[in-house]
Structure 1
Amino acid sequence: MVYDYYASGAEDEWTLQENRNAFSRILFRPRILIDVSKIDMTTTVLGFKISMPIMLAPTAMQKMAHPEGEYATARAASAAGTIMTLSSWATSSVEEVASTGPGIRFFQLYVYRDRNVVAQLVRRAERAGFKAIALTVDTPRLGRREADIKNRFTLPPFLTLKNFEGLDLGKMDKANDSGLASYVAGQIDRTSAGRM
């Protein structure tokens, strides 16, 4: 179930295959007889200097893959001198990730129907030192992830979506066959996500 969650995509997985094909077309071009001893790959994102033009995108529920989950990702991003964007659906809270040490961090946020929940999440991220909000508006309808449906995917019982603890958001129905999909579908604002 966990492997399929990470390895699969929605519907016929066409976009997943296209992404793999795009990456396979990227090749390293060797430089011969050129001085490459002083390469500077630094760049800036929203005014923050990072060591390379690569950031860590939000990835949900990382503790399903490894016990340290988002903690390890935060430390790795900091050590590499780049930005980590923490998923709203993380298994570590913004406060826990901030406690891992220094680093530039952004927080990924969905637009929920309950704007009070949105405001609470933004305030928590701000208090924890997160520098920007990565607003996700491409999920008014969750893709049909057939592997998750077949596996009756739910978050393992020893994990929680830590950023939602203590918020009046409701509980994910772990008994429901569509688990995460139905929960997300019930909470994300489909009417105004693109107008925020």
Structure 2
Amino acid sequence: MTHVCLADLERAVRDVLPGEIWDFLAGGSGTEASLAANRSALDRVFVVPRMLRDLAGSTTEADLLGRPAAVPVVVAPVAYQRMFHPEGELAAARAAGEAGVPYVIPTLSSVALEEVAAVGGRSWFQLYWLKDEKRSLELVRRAEDAGCEAIVFTVDVPWMGRRLRDMRNGFALPESVTAANFDAGTAAHRRAEGVSAVADHTAREFAPATWESVAAVREHTDLPVVLKGILAVEDARRAVEVGADGIVVSNHGGRQLDGAVPGVEVLAEIADAVSGGCEILLDGGIRCGGDVLKAVALGASGVLVGRPVMWGLASAGQDGARQVLDLLAAELRDAMGLAGCDSVSAARGLATKVLRYG
């Protein structure tokens, strides 16, 4: 079946994946208020299109961390991608390479980071802070040695949020899926009623990151360092002060603090506060090319997209993930042209209006 939008694909994949794996991918924390708000907040943003512009030579190309990308999109880190397809991260990374966009290798990858980086394309590495600082910095070194272009330090997970779907399901990883980047033992595979084994595993392995952790990473690598999970203006300013090359404005897809503000709600304020001091990306709820246009108009260099790429991966492996990225690119070209923008830089000049209902 041909999917003309990502919502079509989402519905189809929901009927194919086992229920508890779908819940692991789709769910949020608590009441899932932040998860829902990510979409509703984007739906309230409207751009003011410009007319009678010369659109000859239009392009969706953008610079992300100083290197060109075919579209201002990055494949977000999603844990344990072999749950969705046997090739997991390898297939998703190949798709991103074909589409000309960066792929963020997760700390909780089900394929070793060196293998994923070796498929080609642009790889960034996502870092969770572990209880053993030496192990954390060893992951940074391995990523650098493997040819990754950036470290995306996720700073909003001192521990995993209460993801009630996983708890109700007593969710545990399939035996065939492991955390391939480090010896994580068997905690993530042990089922217990009312307990997420993945949350239990991360509680054993993760430690709350601090600004000192950021400094340690910054001192340990010459790669660009991007802090993922920033929502407060004060934290954005401090990120610039400590030498971060970028920030991802994100509430972790609604999977951490339930009630955390959607990133798009604070994006413009953060962009104004940072004032070019570092690159800004938006994460959370992106479901079409028009959303990418909105993010750029509000001050982002680009966006991260996670769940939709996993829908594509689950539906048809590498080809399915590539189709998702191609669809986003086609939708962005259409949205930019209809808004009178021949380039991503022109889209940054669009005015926006936020409609408040009720």
1:65-144 → structure 2 map (5 Å cutoff): 65-100=84-119, 102-144=120-162
Q: SS where residue 163 of structure 1 aligns?
A: coil
Could you say if the C-alpha distance between residues 17 and 38 of structure 1 is closer, same or farther in structure 2, counting changes exceeding 3 Å? same
CA contact under 8 A between 1:111 and 1:118: conserved in structure 2? yes
Counterpart residue number, 1:50: 69
CA contact under 8 A between 1:42 and 1:52: conserved in structure 2? yes
Deviation digits for residues 67-112 of structure 1 (CA, Å, limit 9, x no counterpart): 2211121111111111111111111111111232x21110000111
Q: CA shift at 1:175, angstroms? A: 2.1
CA contact under 8 A between 1:104 and 1:130: conserved in structure 2? yes
| 1:195 aligned partner, one-letter code | E
CA contact under 8 A between 1:137 and 1:194: conserved in structure 2? no
CA contact under 8 A between 1:112 and 1:118: conserved in structure 2? yes
Larger RCO (CA under 8 A, 6+ residues apart): 2
Q: CA shift at 1:195, angstroms? A: 2.8
Q: Name which of structure 1's ranges 6-15 and 70-79 shifts more when overlaid on structure 2.
A: 70-79
Could you say if the C-alpha distance between residues 46 and 173 of structure 1 is closer, same or farther in structure 2, counting changes exceeding 3 Å? closer
What CA distance in whole angstroms lies between the structure 1 residues aligned with 2:42 and 2:175? 35
CA contact under 8 A between 1:111 and 1:193: conserved in structure 2? no
What CA distance in whole angstroms lies between the structure 2 residues aligned with 1:95 and 1:63? 16
Q: What do you get for the CA RMSD once the two structures are aligned?
A: 2.2
CA contact under 8 A between 2:173 and 2:188: conserved in structure 1? no
What CA distance in whole angstroms lies between the structure 2 residues aligned with 1:153 and 1:37? 52
What CA distance in whole angstroms lies between the structure 1 residues aligned with 2:48 and 2:55? 13
Q: Percent identity, aligned pairs only?
A: 38
Q: SS where residue 134 of structure 1 aligns?
A: strand
Q: Name which of structure 1's ranges 40-49 and 13-22 shifts more when overlaid on structure 2.
A: 40-49
Counterpart residue number, 1:185: 203
Counterpart residue number, 1:155: 173
Aligned length: 191
Query: Structure 1 residue 36 and structure 2 residue 51: aligned?
Result: no
Deviation digits for residues 9-54 of structure 1 (CA, Å, limit 9, x no counterpart): 1000011101122344467988887553411222222212111211
Q: SS where residue 92 of structure 1 aligns?
A: coil
Could you say if the C-alpha distance between residues 33 and 132 of structure 1 is closer, same or farther in structure 2, counting changes exceeding 3 Å? same
Structure 1: state its 5+ residue gaps: none
Structure 2: state its 5+ residue gaps: 1-19, 214-358
| 2:89 aligned partner, one-letter code | E
